[in-house]
């Protein structure tokens, strides 16, 4: 299902210099002026495409997205901004649009200049190859991802389509990945912006693989505004697409063997619950225990304690995949270590934490931490 007005292409520019046959540069084009909104990383170190994208979102109109993997174009100073703008102008020339109607997205190694000449040499191929193959475009953004992340919904005749990349450097603080959501439904730009910001709070802002927030995190949404559709249905479909993409990122976490849902309740506010869940989800000791199917619940208690949330230890209870582990801050009556160990050997783990009687709650999704994660990241540039 491809929203009307949009087309895609991809090519191989050998951006990382490894001679990999993988496509690493992609183009998304809209044959009308599309409404644009987006959210970006809160990391104070922002890549050149993020800085440019933040300005372009203020204009609210775009015609094309130029995405690349293999190079983040981050920590490259004014030269990095110039490189991105040179590519934007070259794309615009081929598509006969304005340069500020092209938004760049980059992911990959930080601190290295883009190989602009290599990328320029592929723009004619991209412009000529535009079609309905969203899969090849999604793959062009992949780095350590093991599969392309694509989700779609229909609302009447209107379509919502999302693509994303993300596997490592995943921590909740905006929309931790590169993601693009497109629709042909007619939407006021304010409605589109509100919808994605609301969705991000409990989806991309609620996932963590390794606690690292990228310099390049971007989620943009575009509407070609071609078809009338019921607004509430479109908003719901956009949320579902973003939610599905975020869960794909968790399931594809670098080296991960388990997906873990951490539900926190009983806090004074939802934000406090989010802090507790994020702290537990990012704890290396908790994550390695999950990998080893070790029911070491003390690590969870310790993480709750240093979350920065004022809690009464005697009010804490913890269940792991339905098994009571902690009651009133101490080992639960009837706790059976072997039962919990057996539950932890599964691929989907649920950790339910209550810290009191408040109404605040939040759910975080995370993974275990395996030897493979270390191998992938120790050899990332090798």
- Note the pLDDT tens digit of each residue in 283-341: 999 999 999 999 999 999 999 999 999 999 999 999 999 999 999 999 999 899 999 99
Is 269 one of the catalytic residues?
Answer: no
Q: Output the average pLDDT for the chain.
A: 92
Q: For residue 191, what are the contacts with CB-CB under 8 A and spacing of at least 6?
A: 231, 235
Residues of the chain with CATH 3.60.70.12: 6-251
Mean pLDDT, residues 129-138 taken together: 97
Residue 271: pLDDT above 90? yes
Integer Cα distance of 102 and 82 in angstroms? 14
Looking at residue 111, its pLDDT comes to 94
Lowest mean pLDDT among 5-9, 364-368, 374-378: 374-378
Torsion 199-109-275-146 (CA) sign: positive
Distances (CA, A) of 145 to 66, 123, 138, 141, 178: 19, 24, 11, 9, 12
CATH among 3.40.50.10860, 3.40.367.20, 3.90.1150.10, 3.60.70.12 for 6-251: 3.60.70.12
Radius of gyration of the chain from its Cα atoms, rounded to whole angstroms = 22
Q: How is domain 259-378 classified at the CATH fold level?
A: Ubiquitin-like (UB roll) (3.10.20)
Integer Cα distance of 374 and 288 in angstroms? 12
Mean pLDDT, residues 187-204 taken together: 94
CB burial readout 292-305, b (16+ within 10 A) else e = ebbbbbebbbbbbe
Residues of the chain with CATH 3.10.20.340: 259-378
Q: Return the SS3 of 288.
A: helix
Asked if 222 contacts 59 with a C-beta cutoff of 8 angstroms, the reply is no
Looking at residue 255, its pLDDT comes to 74
Q: pLDDT class for 170, splitting at 50, 70, 90?
A: very low
Per the residue annotation, which of 76, 107, 143, 176 is the catalytic one? 176
Give the residue carrying structure tokens 């050149």. 48
Looking at residue 174, its pLDDT comes to 43
Which phi-psi region, left, alpha or beta, contains residue 64 (left: φ > 0; alpha: ψ -120 to 50)? beta
Asked if 103 contacts 52 with a C-beta cutoff of 8 angstroms, the reply is yes
Integer Cα distance of 96 and 206 in angstroms? 40
pLDDT tens digit string along 61-120?
A: 999 999 999 999 999 999 999 999 999 999 999 999 999 999 999 999 899 999 999 999
**210: nearest Cα among 241, 256, 258:** 256
Q: For residue 333, what are the contacts with CB-CB under 8 A and spacing of at least 6?
A: 324, 327
Length of the chain: 382
Q: pLDDT class for 59, splitting at 50, 70, 90?
A: very high
Torsion 306-310-314-318 (CA) sign: negative
Integer Cα distance of 48 and 105 in angstroms? 9
Q: pLDDT class for 372, splitting at 50, 70, 90?
A: confident
Q: Return the SS3 of 347.
A: coil
Integer Cα distance of 257 and 262 in angstroms? 16
Integer Cα distance of 214 and 74 in angstroms? 10
């Amino acid at each position: 299902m491809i929203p009307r007005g949009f087309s895609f292409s991809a090519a191989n520019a050998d951006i990382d210099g490894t001679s990999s046959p993988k496509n690493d540069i992609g183009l998304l084009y809209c044959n009308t002026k599309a409404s644009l909104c987006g959210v970006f990383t809160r990391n104070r170190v922002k890549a050149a495409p993020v800085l440019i994208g933040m300005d372009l979102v203020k204009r609210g109109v775009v015609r094309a997205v130029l995405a690349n993997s293999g190079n983040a174009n981050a920590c490259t100073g004014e030269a990095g901004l110039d490189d991105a703008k040179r590519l934007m102008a070259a794309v615009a020339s081929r598509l006969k649009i304005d340069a500020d109607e092209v938004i760049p997205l980059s992911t990959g190694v930080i601190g290295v200049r883009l190989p602009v000449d290599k990328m320029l040499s592929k723009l004619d191929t991209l412009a000529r190859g535009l079609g309905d193959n969203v899969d090849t475009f999604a793959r062009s953004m992949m780095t350590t991802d093991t599969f392309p992340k694509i989700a779609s919904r229909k609302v009447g005749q209107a379509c919502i389509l999302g693509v994303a990349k993300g596997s490592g450097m995943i921590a909740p603080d905006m929309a931790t990945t590169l993601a693009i959501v497109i629709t042909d439904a007619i939407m006021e730009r304010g409605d589109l912006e509100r919808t994605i910001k609301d969705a991000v709070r409990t989806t991309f802002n609620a996932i963590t693989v390794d606690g690292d927030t990228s310099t390049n995190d971007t989620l943009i949404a575009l509407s070609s505004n071609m078809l009338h559709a019921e607004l509430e249905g479109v908003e719901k479909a956009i949320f579902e697409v973003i939610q599905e993409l975020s869960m794909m990122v968790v399931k594809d976490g670098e080296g991960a063997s388990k997906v873990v849902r951490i539900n926190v309740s009983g806090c004074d506010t939802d934000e406090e619950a989010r802090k507790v869940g994020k702290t537990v989800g990012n704890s290396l000791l908790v994550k390695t225990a999950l990998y080893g199917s070790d029911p070491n619940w003390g690590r969870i208690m310790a993480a709750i304690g240093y979350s920065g949330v004022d809690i009464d230890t005697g009010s804490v209870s913890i269940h792991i995949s339905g098994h009571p582990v902690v009651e009133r801050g101490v080992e639960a009556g009837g706790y059976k270590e072997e039962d919990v160990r057996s539950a932890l050997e599964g691929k989907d783990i649920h950790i339910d934490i209550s810290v009191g009687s408040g109404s605040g709650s939040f759910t975080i999704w995370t993974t275990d931490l395996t030897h493979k994660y270390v191998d992938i990241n120790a050899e990332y540039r090798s």
